[in-house]
Amino acid sequence: MPGDSLHNVCLMAAPTPPDTDASPAPALVAALVVTRRTGDVAAVVGAVAGQVYEPNSIFVVSAAELPGELPDGVTRVGSVPDALAQLDAATSFVWFVDQDARPRRDALGALVATANQVDASVVGSKILRADAPEELISVGEATDVFGHPYSGLEAGERDQEQYDVIRDVAFVESASVLVRRDLAMGLGGLDHRVPYLASGLDLCQRARLAGGRVVVAPASEVLFEGYRGDRAITWREQAGRIRAMLKVYSAVTLLWAIPGLAIIGLLAALYRSFNGRPLALLDWGRAWMWNGLHLPSSVAERTRARRSRQAGDEELFRYQITGSVEMRGLASQLGALIQDETEEDEQDLEELFDQNPGFWQQPGFIASAFGFAFVAFFTRSLLSDGMPAVGYTLPLSSDPWGVLTAAAGGWHLGGLGSPEPMHPAVAATAAVQHLSRMGPALAATLLTVAAVALAILGVVRLLRRSGIGQLGRFAAAVVVVAGPAAASLGSVGYWPGLLAIGTLPWTLAAVLEPLPSELRPRIGRIARVALVSGWTAAMVPPLVLAPIVFGLVWGLGTANLAPLRRGVLVTLLGVPFLFPWLAAQDPVALLSAGEPFHLGLSIWSAGAIGLAAIAAILTASGAALRVSASGALLATAGALLARSGSFGTGLDVTVAGALVASVGSTMVVAGAFEGISSLGNAGAIRRSGARLATVAGAVAVATTLALVPAGRAGLAADAFGSELGFAQSRADEHGADRLLLMGDASDLPGASRRLADGTAYRVVSGPQATFPQAWLPSPRLGDDELVKTITRLSEETEQRPGETLVPFGIKWLVFATDEFGSTVSGLMDHSLTSQLDLRPLPQLDVAVFENELLAARAIDDMGTAWRYETGSYRGPAEAGSVLVRENADPRWGPGTWAQDGWANRLGSSSGVAEFAGVPSLRLIGRLVGLLAIVALVAAIWGRLPTKEADE
């Protein structure tokens, strides 16, 4: 209801419209036509001169010469103060008219009458589009505390005199503003440094603080030429709003408002960067930089404003709406993505909040607000405390470029190294980290939070495409991130699974969405699908096949081959992002690699989902039946796969099964909620069955709440984030060497290997286990030797374990647990309590033994340890050789190379030891990187507003 929204800007009594004919003695008015660019002003001057209520003097404010001659009686002045200085003392009002304004003939009269009638100091006109005079632009406006305008009008809203009430407003646009002369003199008029909207805002705010009343006079109509929907978010307008804030707010208000505006502006810019405004971040920066440069003049203006200040900030707050208009706009945009049936995601952001009154009352906005709150609460510990370190949830590297280089045919960073390519999840996360320029901790946290938010949005979108109504899709959405499958996966800390779940629903939704017919949106869509499909596949490679499976299942349900065809396309788009990792994989080993994940099934959640599935399949119809049946098939098949470790399936396959089960469970719950509304006039028994399905679905949703209080997005608590902190503080001058971790596999970071007795162990590059090290390459010579060494260590007779670990560059021996594994027990009971060269470190949560000998990963002939730097080593450039304790490979260099046992011996004259790379994998890696960049550019390009949209 447009009228309702205007209550937000109209808080004072509204007098009756003035009768211009009955006005008392006419007041003298000076008209100032304010120019902001060179151009003809004849039209506006003519409109001003042609007013029924004739101004006694007309000035054109322009610093530059004007084209053409001005009519008689019209004077050009260089600035507003110059004009004000020339005013006749009898002049009562100053009428500021913008260059692009075309006042109707009675506009000034209405303004003067209103000013007199309500004793207003500033009166603005109703603004209409010059090219469509029936469309409203502004009838006075509200703002938020950050000065962002809010018109309260719907896009394209027609003027039906529905707002024709004189009202107090936060500000009026500077197209046509009547100001009391004395006030204008005191304030100095419009600020010529700020653009159109901001100048009106600035003038009105200063006037209000000076005790003036700001009202809109709808009877005064002004047409405006050159209107653009995005005018409020240009960098100049952003800069103008900042300057306006600096001028009027008290120091206390500025203390929180300025940082708040900076953060909100940054978030909005980030969002806009991916939604049709690629330069939004640049604009944000320019706005702040401009204010930095103009700070002295802002301070001077602030000082001037304070001289005439009669009221506090509270007077401004009275006319402002609470919260941030920009943030509401973003929330509304996100809500629109999941709410409307049309291609609303292609809408421009500003249309939603500039021209859409009451957006916060829409279901989409409400749902997104709840969704935002859920995500915030579900991830609050991550946001406040950072990511836990557990399982595969490990800190990102501080050198993302080095990781990317290693991933593209470089040296595997896990264990004792290998030329084998790293898991694609390593490259994908490093790419995001590198492009975003974020620190490792912030990047990991934001990736996780984004994954949770995207998962919920994606599921809602998927369900919307499936025909599920609002209740079903909103209620079921949380199951995808907090349902039994996600909970089980999170309990083992499999972070790539959580990251994959963020994009998997979008990938599957693409299977249900026909491509746009127009070329540009079509390319954009394909690029976006490639990115989400590629990301999903990179995190959990077997999921690259999920679109085909989903398309097949959905196609069977709808007797339509199109989803399957699209599924194949989506899969093919994702496959390239598995390279170069995929190029080095044995297809059979691909299925069995890694210690399998085993999906745990809670009786409550799994039982509720099962009951919901049965009841929905038996009773629902239409979309509810299709969704619940497809979901049940996916959930059970996924669960079967996720529990198939005992049949030899490996980590990625079982995780993929769990994620498919998670999406399937969500579909079941959505179908269960939708079932009752799909029945129409069905009988009582079916309706009872549908109600049972709804109740079971509600129970399934309720069980997800158990994960919320921890606030870790379902991830397990930190297991070794702090436990390995000693390595940083106790590192030698050349850096932290390696750590040998032993214990139960679930207590070790990332992947691990097992000794014959089942004891798990792994090597970690100090000072901490990072995500790029999470996966271990296939065992090589050094790894075989390490097994023998650990076995010897467990024997009672070995009393110099430190000496035996030196050849592996192992400085610390860490027992993550002593509850599992005979080798660990043997070591703890015998060897390590009776050994000569491993110093136990006291007062740590885990048993840690430090090698007293120099255990450098690379050491030259002079005994100097070389520093490790993400897959390479640096040391003094001296003649001789350096022993690099990485698995032997002749591509280590530069200079001479020789195999030394299982390690490498290189010439040390260059002072560098690095892996030259595998050329073919390097090439593939670069091509994939290029493909990702092209897809990213195409995705943005595909969303850029077209000229038609601008119009």
Provide the binding-site residues for another protein, judged by CB under 8 A: 595-596, 598-599, 601, 610, 613-614, 617-618, 625, 629, 632-633, 636-637, 639-640, 642-647, 744-745, 754-758, 791, 794-800, 819-823, 826, 830, 832-840, 849, 852
Helix ranges (H only) for 643-747 are: 651-675, 684-704, 726-729
State the nearest-atom distance from the C-beta of 693 to another protein, in Å. Answer: 13
Q: Do 372 and 324 touch, CB atoms closer than 8 A?
A: no
Side-chain-side CA neighbours of residue 404 (13 Å): 17
State the nearest-atom distance from the C-beta of 389 to another protein, in Å. Answer: 21
CA distance 945 to 188: 39
End-to-end CA distance of the chain: 25
Nearer to another protein, 383 or 618 (CB): 618
How far is CA 568 from each of CA 136, 409, 546, 577, rounded to the nearest angstrom?
48, 28, 10, 15
State the nearest-atom distance from the C-beta of 629 to another protein, in Å. Answer: 5
Nearer to another protein, 276 or 697 (CB): 697
Q: Do 597 and 489 touch, CB atoms closer than 8 A?
A: yes
Q: Comparing C-alpha atoms, which of 774, 767, 773 is closest to residue 732?
A: 767
Nearer to another protein, 170 or 639 (CB): 639
State the nearest-atom distance from the C-beta of 667 to another protein, in Å. Answer: 12
- Coil/strand/helix, residue 462: helix
Burial class (CB in 10 A: 0-12, 13-18, 19+), 286: middle
Query: What secondary structure letter does DSSP report for 945?
Result: P
State the nearest-atom distance from the C-beta of 754 to another protein, in Å. Answer: 7
Q: Do 463 and 476 touch, CB atoms closer than 8 A?
A: yes
Q: Do 271 and 350 touch, CB atoms closer than 8 A?
A: no
Q: Do 838 and 852 touch, CB atoms closer than 8 A?
A: yes
State the nearest-atom distance from the C-beta of 849 to another protein, in Å. Answer: 8
Tokens of 96: 């500021």
Nearer to another protein, 371 or 638 (CB): 638
State the nearest-atom distance from the C-beta of 506 to another protein, in Å. Answer: 25
Amino acid, res. 720:
F
Nearer to another protein, 245 or 629 (CB): 629
State the nearest-atom distance from the C-beta of 712 to another protein, in Å. Answer: 23
Nearer to another protein, 511 or 632 (CB): 632
Cis bond before residue 71 (omega within 30° of 0): no
State the nearest-atom distance from the C-beta of 647 to another protein, in Å. Answer: 8
State the nearest-atom distance from the C-beta of 933 to another protein, in Å. Answer: 41
State the nearest-atom distance from the C-beta of 565 to another protein, in Å. Answer: 23
Nearer to another protein, 204 or 827 (CB): 827
Query: What secondary structure letter does DSSP report for 421?
Result: P
Nearer to another protein, 745 or 806 (CB): 745
Nearer to another protein, 309 or 800 (CB): 800
Distance of CA 73 to the CA centre of its chain: 57
State the nearest-atom distance from the C-beta of 351 to another protein, in Å. Answer: 43
* Cα-trace Rg, the chain: 34
Nearer to another protein, 44 or 549 (CB): 549
- Output b/e per residue, 34-62; b: 16+ Cβ within 10 A: bbbeeeebeebbebbbebebebbbbbbbb
State the nearest-atom distance from the C-beta of 3 to another protein, in Å. Answer: 50
Q: 555: which residues sit within 8 A by CB, 6+ positions away?
A: 561, 562, 563, 564, 567
Q: What is the number of residues in the chain?
A: 951
Query: What secondary structure letter does DSSP report for 147?
Result: -
- Coil/strand/helix, residue 824: helix
Nearer to another protein, 149 or 821 (CB): 821
Side-chain-side CA neighbours of residue 430 (13 Å): 24
Nearer to another protein, 362 or 644 (CB): 644
Residue 613 parent element (H or E): helix 603-619
Residue 146 parent element (H or E): none
Nearer to another protein, 586 or 819 (CB): 819
Q: Comparing C-alpha atoms, which of 661, 629, 657 is closest to residue 645?
A: 657
Nearer to another protein, 215 or 642 (CB): 642
Amino acid, res. 29:
V
State the nearest-atom distance from the C-beta of 491 to another protein, in Å. Answer: 13
Query: Could you give the angle at which helices 424-436 and 495-512 cross, rounded to 10 degrees?
Result: 90
State the nearest-atom distance from the C-beta of 473 to another protein, in Å. Answer: 22
State the nearest-atom distance from the C-beta of 831 to another protein, in Å. Answer: 9
State the nearest-atom distance from the C-beta of 356 to another protein, in Å. Answer: 42
CA distance 534 to 515: 18
Q: 128: which residues sit within 8 A by CB, 6+ positions away?
A: 134, 135, 136, 137, 159, 221, 222, 223, 224
Tokens of 894: 């530069």
Helices (H) and strands (E) in the chain, counts: 35, 26
CA torsion, ordered 224, 226, 232, 238, to nearest 10 deg: -110
Q: Comparing C-alpha atoms, which of 602, 257, 233, 578 is closest to residue 427?
A: 578
Q: 883: which residues sit within 8 A by CB, 6+ positions away?
A: 858, 859, 860, 900, 903, 904, 905
State the nearest-atom distance from the C-beta of 598 to another protein, in Å. Answer: 4
Ramachandran area for residue 162 (φ above 0: left; ψ -120 to 50: alpha; else beta) = alpha
Nearer to another protein, 689 or 772 (CB): 689
CA distance 692 to 604: 15
